[in-house]
Amino acid sequence: MADFLIDETVDITDVVCPVTFVKAKVALEELDDGQILALRMNDGEPVQNVPRSIKEEGHKILKLTENDDGTYTLLVRKVGD
């Protein structure tokens, strides 16, 4: 993760589908084109589906890493305004 400069971090472990995606989408809307968002999400359904939904929105997924507490962090570069 050190390869990327993170502009904003959002935790979506406190919500469930479909709010996981909504929260991520809202966070991305706040950013400028090219900025990087770190999204902390739970294992299971969120990590299975949120990366794909963000891809389908047209943003660029950079990396998914597992954290020590069993959650995952997804790095996303915002594409578009």
Partner 1 sequence: MSVDYKALKNGGFMRQVQKNNFSLRLKVVGGNLTAEQLVTIAEIAQKYGAGRVHLTSRQGVEIPFIKLADVENVKAELLAGGVETGVCGPRVRTVTACQGSEICPSGCIDTYPLACKISERYFGRQLPHKFKFGVTGCVNNCLKAEENDLGVKGGYEVEWLPEACTLCGVCLKACREGAIEQAGEKLVLHSEKCNNCGRCVKSCPFDAWKGTPGYILSFGGTFGNLIAKGEEVLPIVQDTETLFRVADAALAFFDQHANPSERFRVAIERAGWAPFKQAIEEAYHG
> Which of 19, 79 has the CB closer to partner 1?
79
Tell the smallest beta-carbon distance from residue 17 to partner 1 (Å).
Answer: 14
Q: Which of 8, 46, 50, 11 is nearest to 30 (CA)?
A: 8
Per-residue contact string for residues 42-81; x = within reach of partner 1 by CB under 8 A: -x---xxx-xx--xx---xxxxxxx-----x-x-------
17 is catalytic: yes
Bridge-based pairing of strands 72-77 and 60-66 is antiparallel
Contacts of 66 (CB under 8 A, 6+ apart): 72
Where along the sequence are the contacts to partner 1 (CB under 8 A)? 43, 47-49, 51-52, 55-56, 60-66, 72, 74
